[in-house]
Structure 1
């Protein structure tokens, strides 16, 4: 099984994800709302065990 390089850096609400080939994706989370550049998903954390997602 090969060894993989992964690193994550945080700059406030912005998170950068790196792999061996460079920047792989980034995400931002402000309050209950978040967005991911790789999957292009919006999500909102709702009260309790609920959440909402949109592609």
Structure 2
């Protein structure tokens, strides 16, 4: 089993995700809605357990 190093830097609504190799991705989070710039995926947090997630970018 390998240990993976990850870190999220929060600058207001902007989230910067760092990995072992450096910059990973960035996104926005406003309330219950979030968006990841690399995957173009939208996520909405629902009450209770679970969330709704879009498919993101299609290739």
**For the superposition of Structure 1 and Structure 2, which TM-score range results when normalised by the shorter chain?**
0.5 to 0.7
Indicate the residue corresponding to 1:29 in structure 2: 29
Indicate the residue corresponding to 1:53 in structure 2: 53
Q: Over residues 21-44 of structure 1, what are the superposed CA-to-partner deviations in whole Å (9 max), with x where a residue is unaligned?
A: 764311111010000011111010
CA distance in 1, matches of 2:21, 2:50: 35
CA distance in 2, matches of 1:6, 1:45: 22
TM-score (norm: length of structure 2): 0.64
Deviation of residue 17 (structure 1)? 2.8
CA RMSD of aligned residues (A): 2.4
Cα gap change, 1:6 to 1:44, in 2 (>3 Å): closer
CA distance in 1, matches of 2:47, 2:15: 24
What pairs with 1:6-21 in structure 2 (closer than 5 Å)?
8-18=8-18
TM-score (norm: length of structure 1): 0.67
Unpaired stretches in structure 2, ≥5 consecutive residues: none
